[in-house]
Amino acid sequence: MTHRYLLNWALLPQGWARDVAVTVAESGLVTALAVGTAAHTGVSAERVAGFTVPGMPNAHSHAFQRALAGAAEYRASARDSFWTWRRAMYALANRIEPQDLEVIATQLFIEMLKAGYTSVAEFHYLHQPRDSARAADAARASDSAVPSPGNNALWEAVRRAARASGIGLTLLPTLYQTADFGGAPLRQEQLRFRMESDDFLRAIEDCIAADRRDPCPSLRTGAAFHSLRAVPMETLHATALQLRRVDPTMPVHVHVAEQLREVEAGRRATGLRPIETLLRSGLPNEHWCLVHCTHATRAELAGIAASRATVCVSISTEANLGDGIFDALSFLRAGGRLCVGSDSQSTVDPAEELRWMEYQQRLRRKRRVVLASAGEAHAGTELWRSAASHGAQALGQPIGEIAAGRRADWIVLDDNHPAMAGAQPESALDHLIFAGGAAAIRDCMVAGRWVVKDRRHPQEEPIRERFAALLRRLSPAPADRA
């Protein structure tokens, strides 16, 4: 069954258009699009008031960390940093059961939909059941083999949450094998993240086979390498080539150069900075997404741009963790492809990510409207359109634009909301990003189905209660706050 819509105003790849007639197939893909009411003469269509724009792909998320948002803002030492925050994050990771993860992720994904993220790349390194950490420890102590995973209940929890919320998902099972450069063994609190490379490849192939048996238009399987700290380069190289044989267009993500300490450790261990190591491997291409790149040289940024890989920044997380400032202007001037994500979920709001992408540059350069381009004077339109289309590339899904052949993943801005007062179509995204935030988002569609209507998701009330009860149980014990 097809659905027809008449969008009052829509942001198309070529710019804003009025009275856009769109036909969406049962698969969720847009099959026809025409501008002008004549296209729908004699055909009944649902009229969509307000400003319709492409939904934002969230290119970097660790769903379980939503349970830590707001709970790690106390001062644990005089030298609080990413590394002290990581201790609280590990303590949480080691408490979570699959059913907990499903509740957290469902709550989070509903929050994402209401904030304008219509799909998410879930960078997922929680693989082993809770008991396995102790089992692996015992096996290590007795010199026997570490047990193989054989349990994807945690992966399944993320997939179930995506289905329950209606968000699009690119699941990125993540290889994580070492504690630092040079093959340092995982620490006790990292044992749940471990997978052997062969098990990892087999489990990804199983996921892809399951996707084919039970196709869902908004679900895809990719892969990730946690970082060059967590995967030795020879293993990363060999595994990446094997993944390419499984699916040559598979999205592959990796954290890199988030922390200065990581860049320095990489240089000490290998003589090269981590981004240099990745670029020299020749692996990054348009299917790769490099997450953070906070501490990159101009030459590294130019190298990433030339590889056609995307960079995903999550400025809310990078600011929360005190990582540093990504040089967005240099990257964009080099032709770089930039997208955004919610990462640690300290806040979940694409408008905030884009606002701070621009504001970091204004503060640094003491100018206004830095990231608009010669072809697009409005910063809001430029930032949103560019992050949506590069986010689509990072997720490996046909999204990010309102166009024939793309999936109908849209959000609708309420032109009656005070944040939109006085907005013209050209300035609607300026109002969203710089004046109104998510409050002006009225409706959200994924794969041709309204998942948020009049600011309400049908599952939000029941899941909110389960989430609140779970967080009371998971709240960090005083002992973890050291």
Active site members: 292, 343
Cβ–Cβ < 8 Å for 252, 215: no
Q: How far is the CB of 461 from Zn ion (least distance, A)?
A: 30
Spell out the residues 6+ positions from residue 191 whose beta carbon is closer than 8 angstroms to its own.
Answer: 128, 132, 133, 136, 137
Residue nearest to Zn ion (CB): 343
Cβ–Cβ < 8 Å for 440, 432: yes
Indicate the residue among 343 and 401 with the shorter CB distance to Zn ion. Answer: 343
- Name the β-bridge partners of 11: 16
Per CB under 5 A, the segment of 114-122, 342-350, 374-382, 386-394 that binds Zn ion is 342-350
Spell out the residues 6+ positions from residue 3 whose beta carbon is closer than 8 angstroms to its own.
Answer: 23, 24, 46, 448
Indicate the residue among 51 and 125 with the shorter CB distance to Zn ion. Answer: 125
Residues 282-321 that bind Zn ion (CB under 5 A): none
Q: How far is the CB of 62 from Zn ion (least distance, A)?
A: 6
Q: How far is the CB of 153 from Zn ion (least distance, A)?
A: 22
Q: Distance between CA atoms of 85 and 442, rounded to whole angstroms?
A: 35
Number of residues that bind Zn ion (CB under 5 A): 1
Torsion sign (Cα): 380, 386, 390, 395: positive
Per CB under 5 A, the segment of 186-194, 232-240, 336-344, 474-482 that binds Zn ion is 336-344
Report helix, strand or coil for 110. helix
Indicate the residue among 343 and 460 with the shorter CB distance to Zn ion. Answer: 343
Concatenating the DSSP letter of every residue in 114-163 gives HHTEEEEEEEE---S-HHHHHHHHHHHHTT-PPPP----HHHHHHHHHHH
Cβ–Cβ < 8 Å for 209, 157: no
Cβ–Cβ < 8 Å for 419, 435: yes
Per CB under 5 A, the segment of 49-57, 200-208, 339-347, 464-472 that binds Zn ion is 339-347
Spell out the residues 6+ positions from residue 477 whose beta carbon is closer than 8 angstroms to its own.
Answer: 91
H or E element that contains 239: helix 233-246
Q: How far is the CB of 256 from Zn ion (least distance, A)?
A: 11
Indicate the residue among 21 and 172 with the shorter CB distance to Zn ion. Answer: 172
Closest of 478, 467, 481 to residue 96, by C-alpha: 467
Question: What mask, x for binding Zn ion by CB under 5 A, covers residues 380 to 409?
Answer: ------------------------------
Indicate the residue among 247 and 343 with the shorter CB distance to Zn ion. Answer: 343
Q: How far is the CB of 389 from Zn ion (least distance, A)?
A: 22
Q: How far is the CB of 343 from Zn ion (least distance, A)?
A: 5
Classify the phi-psi angles of 262: left when phi > 0, otherwise alpha if psi is within -120 to 50, otherwise beta: alpha
Question: What mask, x for binding Zn ion by CB under 5 A, covers residues 343 to 362?
Answer: x-------------------
Q: How far is the CB of 262 from Zn ion (least distance, A)?
A: 12
Give φ, ψ of 427 to 5 degrees.
-105, 5
> What is each CA distance from 258 to 45, 71, 156, 280, in whole angstroms?
48, 22, 29, 19
SS3 helix, strand, coil % of the chain, rounded to 5?
Answer: 45, 20, 35
Spell out the residues 6+ positions from residue 469 whose beta carbon is closer than 8 angstroms to its own.
Answer: none
Indicate the residue among 254 and 463 with the shorter CB distance to Zn ion. Answer: 254
Task: Check binding of 111 to Zn ion (CB under 5 A).
Answer: no
Indicate the residue among 62 and 273 with the shorter CB distance to Zn ion. Answer: 62
Q: How far is the CB of 226 from Zn ion (least distance, A)?
A: 9
Per CB under 5 A, the segment of 80-88, 259-267, 337-345, 390-398 that binds Zn ion is 337-345
Q: Where in 250-303 does DSSP place strands (E)?
A: 252-256, 288-292
Cβ–Cβ < 8 Å for 277, 228: yes
Per CB under 5 A, the segment of 12-20, 81-89, 329-337, 340-348 that binds Zn ion is 340-348
Per CB under 5 A, the segment of 146-154, 169-177, 266-274, 338-346 that binds Zn ion is 338-346
Q: How far is the CB of 161 from Zn ion (least distance, A)?
A: 18
Indicate the residue among 276 and 343 with the shorter CB distance to Zn ion. Answer: 343
Indicate the residue among 102 and 343 with the shorter CB distance to Zn ion. Answer: 343
Tokens 């430029």 belong to: 382
Q: For binding to Zn ion (CB under 5 A), which residues are involved? A: 343
